[in-house]
Structure 1
Amino acid sequence: MIKLVGRVGTSLLIAGSLALASCSKAPDPATTPRTEFSIGWSIYAGWMPWPYAQQAGIVKKWADKYGIKINVVQVNDYVESINQYTAGKFDGVTVTNMDALTIPAAGGKDTSAIIVGDYSNGNDGILLKGADNLAAIKGRQVYLVELSVSHYLLARGLETAGLKPTDVKTVNTSDADIVGAFSSPDASAAVAWNPQLSVMKGQAGAKEVFNSSQIPGEILDLMVVDTATLKANPNLGKALAGIWYETVALMQRQDAQGKEARAAMAKLAGTSPEEFDKQLSTTFLYAEPKAAVAAAASPALIKTMTLVRDFSFSKGLFKGAASADAVGMAFPGGKTLGNPQAVTFRFDDSFMTLAADGKL
């Protein structure tokens, strides 16, 4: 049985979280060293190493090395996990690049992406019935979770086909309802992510006409941590990097231990080992820290975040902002995007670099 849970929540929740972040200041994190931390996560193929690492004792191993305790906590609703992080309940959370920008960062919570874990390489797609090319989407109603990475994928797909957002009408549909909605004879277009996407592909007449592998590196999955907490407690960043790269190395193995680890992750995700491996095949994991460091330092990341922030601003996700530059972002090498005096989203490659150099 496939558990239909993903990275994306409803636009209502996104809007609510933005209002919360804008109207009420989250509690300031401790500015003195601490020994116990909480990290939130939700179900998605690229994030299953975190709960597995806790189950397998890898979290405890690295936390003990640095004299700290790390609680890895599941939240069933993805956007709620980000809301809780934004409100200060979690010190870090698993999140996409777009949602990290539009929820905590746009709300004023200074956030650092310390692990670039993967990018969607086909895990998100556009489906049509009765057509096999994206151009046929013109004039159709498109079912998706509005103001999410699915909406972003649609915008990028339309752009590649020479179409405008006004050429389609979007129908806001929750992640829990989209499979059923697309099964209706009246529904002929939808955007979804795995595992829902794989189920919807099996519906009569459905064809995938665009997917995230055609915009590689644009839908990123991250581990982010409150910047002030990280500054006061760098050992948290070191432990998290150690946990991540040890676990990902294990899950990449094709021996009995690697298969056992992936099967355990599949069980934690509520799916079968076969389905989980299928989802991993459309997830580009930065298994080697050197590759993740290179991705964070690449000019392509600034181009990606420019596309993401421009789309987000156009949809009103920078509440009250006069321009897309209102939310500042910082990148390795001292590069910035947007207002350098108002940086609230940072790509910090220092802990991935320590892992790459064998210095954790």
Structure 2
Amino acid sequence: MSLIRHFSRALIGLTLLSASAAHAAAPRCHIAWSHYTGWEPVGYIQDSGIAARWGKKMGVDLQFTLINDYIESVNQYTAGSFDGVTVTNMDGLTIPAVGGVDTTVLVVGDFSNGNDAILVKSADNKASVHSLKSKPVKLVELSVSHYLLARALDKNGMAERDLSVVNTSDADLGGLIAAAADGDAFVTWNPIVMTALQQPGVVNVFDSAQIPGEIIDTIMVRTDADDACKRAVTGAWYEAMGQMSQGGAKTQQALSSMAAQAGGSEAEFQAQLRTTRMFYEPKQAAEFSRSQQLKDTMRFVAKFSFDHGLYGNGASDETFIGIAYPDGSVWGNADFVKLRFDATYMQMAADGKL
């Protein structure tokens, strides 16, 4: 009996070691994220158990890690510390892609639809984009705020030479707006915009709702990431999207959780969602990825990026980076494709084939 017991224990030990080894061998699927209305679902995915469930289902070690500094999260992804990252279309192009990291837009989550705005302090509440002429405009230089300003000027027959850009930390913008004098101008994003517009005399002269579909929030991954990783990330995202949009107690729980992790009230988070065009349905996101509008937007983004030196000294023009689209077309340098819009996994989610 003693030998049988020892033999049984040995078998149990071997089984446990095998299970542990199998778990350790699961392909890494680590995604960095940072706080923003459209990316708060990622924190919910991690904390609610959705990530663990999809990781187990796909046989990968799926984890979403919060990095409090947005640019640092993108830099860490570019350096290889993560397999994916929550990032805007512009920053995905100008940081990892320009850095030579072949990157795929796996999920198109939303686009800013009023979250980003140009604000002017105006005693008579009659300011416009033309009010910016010859004025210093405070913003985070070379960010989507800077891009928004460039698009606003272009749409109003103006150019950056008509004003001066003052690089300002986003941490300082709220206080500067609160203390603004008549004529002072700023470009920023929510929740700073929401708070600023509650102050007397602060006027929204242009916002991202006027360039819909251009400031896009995504989850990007390394193009050579494991297929199971891509499936797991996509599946987890759309499970969260379903919970956010289905209504009832589950939606209430999800939104409350996201608001808390964002550091605000549920009412504030709901207000920010109203200026964020979420693609709750994967079919909608896949269709957007295939649209001519996206191609046009990326041309605007590429030109802005080149004109402002974000491609570096080696680039001769805005076609320096090749950008691939779901229809197989490439805009830019076909020999240096480093950013790829791929609707495959969003479409699989839409078809229930993940």
Per-residue deviation, 1:138:
1.1
Deviation track 1:117-150 (CA, whole Å, cap 9, x = no partner) reads 0000000000011133222111111110000100
Match of 1:192 in 2: 188
In the alignment, the residues of structure 1 paired with residue 91 and residue 61 of structure 2 have an alpha-carbon distance, to the nearest angstrom, of 27
* Conserved? CA contact 2:54–2:62, under 8 Å: no
Per-residue deviation, 1:34:
5.2
Match of 2:251 in 1: 258
Q: Quick one: structure 1 residues 185 and 298, their matched pair in 2 at CA, closer, same or farther if it must change by over 3 Å?
A: closer
Paired-residue identity, % = 46
In the alignment, the residues of structure 2 paired with residue 305 and residue 185 of structure 1 have an alpha-carbon distance, to the nearest angstrom, of 34
Match of 1:30 in 2: none
* Conserved? CA contact 2:110–2:277, under 8 Å: yes
Deviation track 1:95-132 (CA, whole Å, cap 9, x = no partner) reads 00000000010111111001000000000000011133
* Amino acid across the alignment from 2:353: K
Alignment of 1:309 onto 2:306 = no
In the alignment, the residues of structure 2 paired with residue 259 and residue 45 of structure 1 have an alpha-carbon distance, to the nearest angstrom, of 16
Per-residue deviation, 1:203:
2.6
Alignment of 1:176 onto 2:171 = yes
Select which of 252, 265, 273 maps to 2:266: 273
Alignment of 1:40 onto 2:35 = no
In the alignment, the residues of structure 2 paired with residue 198 and residue 139 of structure 1 have an alpha-carbon distance, to the nearest angstrom, of 26
Alignment of 1:298 onto 2:291 = yes
* Amino acid across the alignment from 1:50: V
* Conserved? CA contact 1:253–1:259, under 8 Å: no
Select which of 123, 137, 142 maps to 2:115: 123
In the alignment, the residues of structure 2 paired with residue 185 and residue 126 of structure 1 have an alpha-carbon distance, to the nearest angstrom, of 14
In the alignment, the residues of structure 1 paired with residue 178 and residue 53 of structure 2 have an alpha-carbon distance, to the nearest angstrom, of 46
Alignment of 1:224 onto 2:220 = yes
Deviation track 1:65-118 (CA, whole Å, cap 9, x = no partner) reads 111111110001000000000000011000000000000101111110010000
Secondary structure at the counterpart of residue 332 of structure 1: coil
* Conserved? CA contact 1:143–1:182, under 8 Å: no
In the alignment, the residues of structure 1 paired with residue 177 and residue 217 of structure 2 have an alpha-carbon distance, to the nearest angstrom, of 26
Alignment of 1:213 onto 2:206 = no
Match of 1:15 in 2: none
Unaligned runs of 5+ in 2: 1-24
Match of 1:352 in 2: 346
Per-residue deviation, 1:182:
2.1
Alignment of 1:55 onto 2:47 = yes
* Conserved? CA contact 2:26–2:61, under 8 Å: no
* Amino acid across the alignment from 1:55: D
Secondary structure at the counterpart of residue 333 of structure 1: coil
* Amino acid across the alignment from 2:36: Y
* Conserved? CA contact 2:84–2:222, under 8 Å: yes
**C-alpha root-mean-square deviation of aligned residues, in Å?**
1.2
Match of 1:202 in 2: 198
In the alignment, the residues of structure 1 paired with residue 309 and residue 156 of structure 2 have an alpha-carbon distance, to the nearest angstrom, of 24
Extract structure 1 runs of 4+ deviating beyond 4 A.
Answer: none
Match of 1:167 in 2: 162
Match of 2:68 in 1: 76
Per-residue deviation, 1:37:
2.1
In the alignment, the residues of structure 2 paired with residue 323 and residue 54 of structure 1 have an alpha-carbon distance, to the nearest angstrom, of 41
Match of 2:143 in 1: 148
* Amino acid across the alignment from 1:207: V
Per-residue deviation, 1:184:
2.9
In the alignment, the residues of structure 1 paired with residue 222 and residue 231 of structure 2 have an alpha-carbon distance, to the nearest angstrom, of 14
* Amino acid across the alignment from 2:127: D
* Amino acid across the alignment from 1:128: V
Deviates further, 306-315 or 58-67: 58-67
In the alignment, the residues of structure 1 paired with residue 81 and residue 306 of structure 2 have an alpha-carbon distance, to the nearest angstrom, of 27
Select which of 67, 70, 81 maps to 1:89: 81
Match of 1:136 in 2: 131
In the alignment, the residues of structure 2 paired with residue 282 and residue 96 of structure 1 have an alpha-carbon distance, to the nearest angstrom, of 16
In the alignment, the residues of structure 2 paired with residue 234 and residue 260 of structure 1 have an alpha-carbon distance, to the nearest angstrom, of 31
Unaligned runs of 5+ in 1: 1-32
Select which of 265, 282, 286 maps to 1:289: 282
* Conserved? CA contact 1:106–1:318, under 8 Å: yes
* Conserved? CA contact 2:115–2:272, under 8 Å: yes
In the alignment, the residues of structure 2 paired with residue 348 and residue 161 of structure 1 have an alpha-carbon distance, to the nearest angstrom, of 34
Per-residue deviation, 1:171:
0.7
Q: What TM-score, normalized by structure 1, do the two folds share?
A: 0.88
Deviation track 1:239-281 (CA, whole Å, cap 9, x = no partner) reads 1111011101111133122011101000111111000000000
Matched length: 325
